[in-house]
């Protein structure tokens, strides 16, 4: 097992002067070794990244990661292999996923959904994928046999309890729904690790590139950390990096027929969750677990014009049959 993870760390480590295509090839090798997708799944996954031309773990020409995969591994008690939980794998049917449930009334075995422990590619001590549109994120999840999470699932994973969805579809707009939702949950707001924001707990002490002004691919480095490198940045359900590192695309349904958690492939509009890698230096906006963001760069999730940038990634959910 240790030898296996040493090989993965080597694959996770950027090569000097490599191209985006080379970076993605390394990541695909990791995905094949860890998640063992079928040949058809790998072909679909590779095609999504090839069509994008930008999706990957950041522009390798300018990214300056503040921590290496090997340094990540050294920070984890028990090493990266300790994140591989046999019970969760049995429940979720996948490595590095955790069951979503309400501990007040349920056991993990009662879960009807699971969420990735880490940002995609959902492999500990790998860098998160960024520069990916919401549409592409949904397609990647589908290619992996999963789905893009609904907003309430991500929030429950962070807050430590998956409670019944309470979307106010009757309010008719993203802004009105967010106002109601934030007003309801603000009095009991919390972060994955506790009831107040704390510096130094999550992957949030990196910096922007000096050349980063308007957010361009060739000027803004994705200066992220390896996922899982901050063992205390974990929710009560066992989900990592929901604060810091990369913000995350999620699905915000605007009607019951747009909920991925009930089987919809139509999907709703974009919702950006969490925060990103400079937040300990510059707290740009709220990032408590159940906070709903303004409709930044908003679109339908499946729009070809959905947003991508250097600090925006995603993670997937699946439905437990």
Average pLDDT score over residue span 12-20: 88
Q: How distant, in Å, are the alpha carbons of 1, 207, 274 from that of 127?
A: 21, 16, 16
Quick one: pLDDT at residue 64?
97
- Please provide residue 12's backbone torsions phi and psi, each rounded to the nearest 5 degrees: -75, -15
Answer yes or no: is pLDDT of 120 > 90.
yes
Note the pLDDT of residue 122. 98
Average pLDDT over residues 1-24: 83
For 34-73, the pLDDT digits (tens) are 999 999 999 999 999 999 999 999 999 999 999 999 999 9
Residues 225, 203: Cα–Cα separation, whole Å: 6
Q: CA geometry: angle at 59 spanning 69 and 39, to 5°?
A: 70
In the predicted model, is pLDDT for residue 7 greater than 80?
no
pLDDT tens digits, 196-210: 999 999 999 999 999
Compute the average pLDDT of residues 233-238: 98
- A 10 A CB-CB count for 276 gives 29
pLDDT in tens, 217-232: 999 999 999 999 999 9
Computed over every residue of the chain, the mean pLDDT equals 96
Q: Mean per-residue pLDDT for 103-109? A: 98
Sheet holding 97-100, edge to edge: 97-100, 113-116, 316-319, 147-148
Torsion of CA 256, 260, 266, 268, to 10 degrees: 70
Contact 96, 253 (CB under 8 A): no
Of 6-15, 180-189, 266-275, the least confident: 6-15
Which tokens belong to 96?
């590095």
Per-residue model confidence (pLDDT) at position 2: 61
Give the distance, in angstroms, between the CA of residue 215 and the centroid of all CA atoms in the same chain: 20
Nearest to 120 by CA among 133, 137, 145: 137
User: pLDDT class for 4, splitting at 50, 70, 90?
Assistant: confident
- On the question of pLDDT at 279 being above 90, the answer is yes
Tell me, what's the pLDDT at 79?
95
Beta-strand pair 247-252/312-314: parallel
What contacts 107, CB < 8 A, 6 or more positions away? Answer: 101
Q: In terms of Cα–Cα distance, which of 311, 273, 314, 308 is closest to 290?
A: 273
For 316, the 3-state DSSP assignment is strand
Average pLDDT, integer, range 182-188: 98
Q: What percent of the chain has pLDDT over 90?
A: 93
CA distances from 207 to 66, 283, 285 (A): 9, 12, 16
Note the pLDDT of residue 16: 84
pLDDT at 1: 60
Whether the full predicted model's pTM is greater than 0.85, yes or no, is yes
CA distance from start to end of the chain: 30
Read off the tokens for 22. 């080379």
pLDDT for residue 235: 98
Supply φ then ψ for residue 249, to 5 degrees. -65, 135
Q: Domains of the chain by range and CATH?
A: 2-319 (3.90.1580)
């Amino acid at each position: 097992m240790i030898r296996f993870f040493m090989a993965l760390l080597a694959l996770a480590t950027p090569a000097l002067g490599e191209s985006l295509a080379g970076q993605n090839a390394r990541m695909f090798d990791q995905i094949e070794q860890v998640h063992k997708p079928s040949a058809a799944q790998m072909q679909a996954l590779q095609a999504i990244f090839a069509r994008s031309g930008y999706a990957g773990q950041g522009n390798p020409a300018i990214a300056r990661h503040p921590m290496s995969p090997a340094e990540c591994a050294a920070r984890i008690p028990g090493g990266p292999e300790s994140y591989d939980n046999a019970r969760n794998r049995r429940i979720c049917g996948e490595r590095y996923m955790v069951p979503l449930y309400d501990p007040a009334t349920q056991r993990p075995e009662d879960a009807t959904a699971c969420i990735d422990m880490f940002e995609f590619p959902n492999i500990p001590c790998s860098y998160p994928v960024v520069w990916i549109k919401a549409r592409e994120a949904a397609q990647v999840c589908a290619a992996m046999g999963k789905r893009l999470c609904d907003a309430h699932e991500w929030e429950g994973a962070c807050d430590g309890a998956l409670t019944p969805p309470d979307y106010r579809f009757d309010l008719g707009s993203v802004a009105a729904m967010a106002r109601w939702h934030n007003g309801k949950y603000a009095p009991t707001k919390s972060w994955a690790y506790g009831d107040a924001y704390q510096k130094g707990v999550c992957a949030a002490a990196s910096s922007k590139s000096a050349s980063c002004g308007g957010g361009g691919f060739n000027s803004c480095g994705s200066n992220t950390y390896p996922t899982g490198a901050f063992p205390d940045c974990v929710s009560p359900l066992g989900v990592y990096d929901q604060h810091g590192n990369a913000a995350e695309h999620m699905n915000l349904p605007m009607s019951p027929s747009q909920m991925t958690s009930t089987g919809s492939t139509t999907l709703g509009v974009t919702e950006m969750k969490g925060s990103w890698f400079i937040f300990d230096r510059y707290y740009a906006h709220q990032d408590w677990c159940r906070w709903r963001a303004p409709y930044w760069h908003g679109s339908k999730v499946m729009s070809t014009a959905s947003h991508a940038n250097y600090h925006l990634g995603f993670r997937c959910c699946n439905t437990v049959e």
